[in-house]
């Protein structure tokens, strides 16, 4: 029983059975991570290139750790210290890396669709670690794993994703993945932060945070991505914090069972108050732990076979 | 899958496990040093039954550990053959213990090889012993069992099929014929 997908490019169109299988396998790997020796020999001899065209702490370290704990051989590439600086194109870079006989490529790039493009340049298995404003599937999978481990299920739970939806590939992946799993997803942010064609996403959208968080089980706060936007999308940080930030006062109006998530890195004091990020209802560090397990599961399930 | 011959019924299976339990005791009189570990999937239930029998005889409190060797197998690389990764739960320290691995069928020896590697990652047992309900021969690795319920040799398209009541509803062991070209 393998996955019905050969690459992980996004969660749009990925079947419920595949997502369940990844999450079940991730639970098993979670157990491996509790062992004294956290390494298993499964991917021995497999070379995995981490092709990062954008900065990243969590995702890159998490993938590298997942690769090492499966005994794979990770090879790290970052655009800023490579021949990309000399003007080498993406296609040439990838074809050269592929010529060194590698098995999988984990790619992050500022342009949407790059992972799909790579599937046409090489035979290697491609895993999307974030492409432009498109998708970030492993983040969504680790979010779902965290929610499932907390509540014991996904079906029927309600999640509000609040903040800079437009610039968030996490929100897009979650919108697809979570609705596939039968969750109720509400996206919330100031109108300037909402994408233009939300009707193409299988979710509800609102610009009022109090409406969004009504009856939720999970609140996922997104980072204001200052590096991706020009000016003028919101009047001031202070006003944003007041209308769309999550602080203790707003959280205290909701049931104690509600959990708070954030894909990181956090702008403390902007979208999320510091004492909320560190409070008991926050599962933000669980997300990071689960990230390694979920990525091990994805690499394990996709890395086993040559193409069918 | 065609059933050819019943090799064990529930009574025979129970007696074989009782004998294995006695033999384990005979070889390891100090139960404080013994750890029993069942291999996923059906070995787990056999291990629990062997542990229960020993506990009954000796008023001991052995708890059978569970080991999933999927991640240590050598056939992972074959195209699209990733078996489901299952639970591993060994609730005791295996260092300096006499560990008895319990598996249902001993055949090529590759599962046991994987189990040995997996166990070594959990610690350094004093000895590792192997109990198999059925040894069907045709080893591909230099591995042998210390305790065997039933020894038989299968040929050609024959396999053995074990049912345990915990998941299959009944205890029985059959010699079966599998279709060619599978």
Q: Which residues of chain B have pLDDT under 70?
A: 76-83, 180-182
Q: Any CB–CB contact under 8 A between A304 and chain B?
A: yes
Task: For A47, list phi and psi in degrees, rounded to 5.
Answer: -105, 130
Q: Could you tell me if A307 and A6 are in contact, meaning their C-beta atoms sit under 8 angstroms apart? A: yes
A142-158 pLDDT, tens digit per residue, is 999 999 999 999 999 99
Q: Could you tell me if A162 and A219 are in contact, meaning their C-beta atoms sit under 8 angstroms apart? A: yes
Instruction: For residue B113, give how far its alpha carbon lies from the nearest alpha carbon of chain A (Å).
Output: 13
pLDDT on residue A79: 83
Residues from chain B that touch A305, judged by Cβ atoms under 8 A, are 77-82
Task: For B114, list phi and psi in degrees, rounded to 5.
Answer: -65, -40
Residues from chain B that touch A25, judged by Cβ atoms under 8 A, are 84-85
Give the model's confidence band at A230: pLDDT under 50 very low, under 70 low, under 90 confident, else very high: low
Contact yes or no for B82 and A304 at CB 8 A? yes
Closest residue in A to B93 (Cα–Cα): A36
Is B170 within the bounds of a domain?
no
Is B174 within the bounds of a domain?
no
CATH number of the domain where residue B64 is located? 3.40.50.2020
pLDDT on residue B86: 85
Q: Could you tell me if B36 and B21 are in contact, meaning their C-beta atoms sit under 8 angstroms apart? A: no
A108-125 pLDDT, tens digit per residue, is 999 999 999 999 999 999
Q: Which of A182-196, A224-238, A240-254, B54-68 has the lowest mean pLDDT?
A: A224-238
Closest residue in A to B91 (Cα–Cα): A35
As for how many domains chain B has, the answer is: 1
Ordered domains of chain A (ranges, CATH): 16-135+288-303 (3.40.50.1370), 137-284 (3.40.50.1370)
Give the model's confidence band at A308: pLDDT under 50 very low, under 70 low, under 90 confident, else very high: very low
Closest residue in B to A307 (Cα–Cα): B79
Contact yes or no for A304 and B72 at CB 8 A? no
Give the model's confidence band at A195: pLDDT under 50 very low, under 70 low, under 90 confident, else very high: confident
Contact yes or no for B71 and A41 at CB 8 A? yes
Q: Any CB–CB contact under 8 A between A1 and chain B?
A: yes
Averaged confidence pLDDT in chain A:
92
- What the block records as the tokens of A282 is 């926050």
pLDDT on residue A227: 74
Give the model's confidence band at A306: pLDDT under 50 very low, under 70 low, under 90 confident, else very high: very low
Residues from chain B that touch A307, judged by Cβ atoms under 8 A, are 79
Is B144 within the bounds of a domain?
yes
> What pTM does this model have?
0.86
Q: Any CB–CB contact under 8 A between A272 and chain B?
A: no
pLDDT on residue B74: 80
Give the model's confidence band at A57: pLDDT under 50 very low, under 70 low, under 90 confident, else very high: confident
pLDDT on residue B85: 83
Span between the terminal Cα atoms of chain A, in Å: 13
Q: Any CB–CB contact under 8 A between A15 and chain B?
A: no
Of A2, A40, A306, the CB nearest to B71: A40
Is B163 within the bounds of a domain?
no
Contact yes or no for A41 and B72 at CB 8 A? yes
Q: Any CB–CB contact under 8 A between B80 and chain A?
A: yes
Q: What is the 3-state secondary structure (H, E, C) of chain A?
A: CCCCCCCECCCCCCCHHHHHHHHHHHHHHHHHCCCCCCCCCCCCCCEEEEEECCCCCHHHHHHHHHHHHCCCEEEEEEHHHCHHHHCCCHHHHHHHHHHCCCCEEEEEECCCCHHHHHHCCCCCEEEEEEECCCECHHHHHHHHHHHHHHHCCCCCCEEEEECCCCCCHHHHHHHHHHHHCCCEEEEECCHHHCCCCHHHCCCEEECCHHHHCCCCCEEEECCCCHHHCCCCCCCCHHHHHHHHCECHHHHHCCCCCCEEECCCCCCECCCECHHHHCCCCECHHHHHHHHHHHHHHHHHHHHCCCCC
Q: Any CB–CB contact under 8 A between B59 and chain A?
A: no
Residues from chain B that touch A34, judged by Cβ atoms under 8 A, are none
Is B68 within the bounds of a domain?
yes
Q: Residue A139 above 70 pLDDT?
A: yes
Q: Any CB–CB contact under 8 A between A2 and chain B?
A: yes
Instruction: For residue A34, give how far its alpha carbon lies from the nearest alpha carbon of chain B (Å).
Output: 11
Instruction: For residue B7, give how far its alpha carbon lies from the nearest alpha carbon of chain A (Å).
Output: 30
Is B181 within the bounds of a domain?
no
Instruction: For residue B8, give how far its alpha carbon lies from the nearest alpha carbon of chain A (Å).
Output: 31
Hey, of B77, B88, B114, B120, which one would you mutate to test binding to chain A, going by the most A CBs within 10 A of its CB? B77
Domain extent for B102: 11-75+85-157
Q: What's the full length of chain B, in residues? A: 182
Is B3 within the bounds of a domain?
no
Percentage of chain A beyond pLDDT 70 is 96
Is B150 within the bounds of a domain?
yes
Residues from chain A that touch B76, judged by Cβ atoms under 8 A, are 42, 304
pLDDT on residue B78: 58
Closest residue in A to B69 (Cα–Cα): A40
Contact yes or no for B80 and A24 at CB 8 A? no
Give the model's confidence band at A260: pLDDT under 50 very low, under 70 low, under 90 confident, else very high: very high
- What the block records as the tokens of B37 is 């570990």
- The average pLDDT across A66-89 equals 89
A20-56 pLDDT, tens digit per residue, is 999 999 999 999 999 888 999 989 889 999 999 998 8
């Amino acid at each position: 029983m393998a996955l019905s997908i050969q690459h992980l490019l996004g969660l749009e169109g990925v079947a419920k059975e595949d997502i369940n299988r990844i999450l079940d396998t991730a639970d098993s790997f979670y157990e491996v991570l509790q062992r004294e020796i956290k390494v298993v020999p499964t991917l021995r001899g497999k070379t995995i290139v981490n092709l990062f065209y954008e900065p990243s702490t969590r995702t890159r370290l998490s993938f590298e750790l997942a690769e090492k704990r499966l005994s794979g051989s990770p090879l790290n590439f970052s655009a800023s210290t490579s021949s990309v600086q000399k003007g080498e194109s993406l296609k040439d870079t990838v074809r050269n890396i592929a010529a060194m006989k590698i098995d999988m490529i984990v790619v992050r790039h500022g342009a949407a669709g790059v992972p799909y493009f790579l599937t046409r340049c090489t035979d290697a298995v491609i895993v999307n670690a974030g492409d432009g404003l498109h998708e970030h599937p492993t983040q969504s999978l680790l979010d779902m794993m965290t929610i499932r481990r907390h509540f014991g299920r996904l079906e029927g739970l309600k999640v509000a994703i609040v903040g800079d939806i437009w610039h968030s590939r996490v929100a897009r992946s979650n919108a697809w993945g979570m609705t596939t799993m039968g969750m109720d997803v509400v996206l919330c942010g100031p109108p300037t932060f909402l994408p233009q064609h939300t009707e193409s996403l299988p979710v509800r959208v609102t610009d009022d945070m109090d409406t969004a968080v009504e009856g939720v089980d999970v609140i996922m706060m997104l980072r204001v991505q200052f590096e991706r936007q020009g000016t003028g999308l919101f009047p001031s940080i202070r006003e944003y914090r007041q209308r769309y930030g999550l602080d203790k006062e707003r959280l205290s109006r909701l049931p104690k069972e509600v959990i708070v998530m954030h894909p990181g890195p956090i702008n403390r004091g902007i979208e999320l108050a510091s004492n909320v990020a560190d409070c008991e209802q926050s599962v933000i560090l669980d997300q990071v732990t689960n990230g390694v397990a979920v990525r091990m599961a994805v690499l394990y399930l996709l890395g086993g076979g040559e193409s069918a | 899958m065609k059933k050819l011959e019943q090799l064990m019924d529930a009574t025979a299976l129970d007696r074989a496990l009782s004998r294995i339990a006695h033999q384990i005791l005979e070889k390891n009189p100090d139960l404080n040093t013994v750890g029993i570990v069942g291999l996923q999937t059906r070995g787990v239930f056999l291990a629990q039954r062997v542990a229960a029998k020993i506990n009954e005889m000796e008023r001991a409190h052995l708890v059978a550990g569970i080991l999933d060797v999927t991640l240590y197998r050598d056939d992972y690389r074959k195209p699209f053959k990733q078996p489901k990764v299952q639970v591993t739960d060994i609730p005791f320290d295996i260092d300096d213990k006499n560990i008895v691995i319990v598996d249902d069928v001993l055949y090529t020896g590759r599962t046991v090889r994987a189990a040995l590697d997996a166990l070594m990652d959990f610690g350094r047992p004093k000895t590792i012993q192997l109990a198999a309900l059925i040894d069907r021969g045709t080893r591909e690795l230099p591995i042998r069992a210390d305790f065997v319920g039933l020894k038989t040799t299968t040929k050609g398209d024959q396999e053995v099929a074990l049912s345990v009541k915990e998941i299959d509803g009944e205890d029985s062991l059959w010699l079966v014929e599998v279709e060619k070209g599978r």
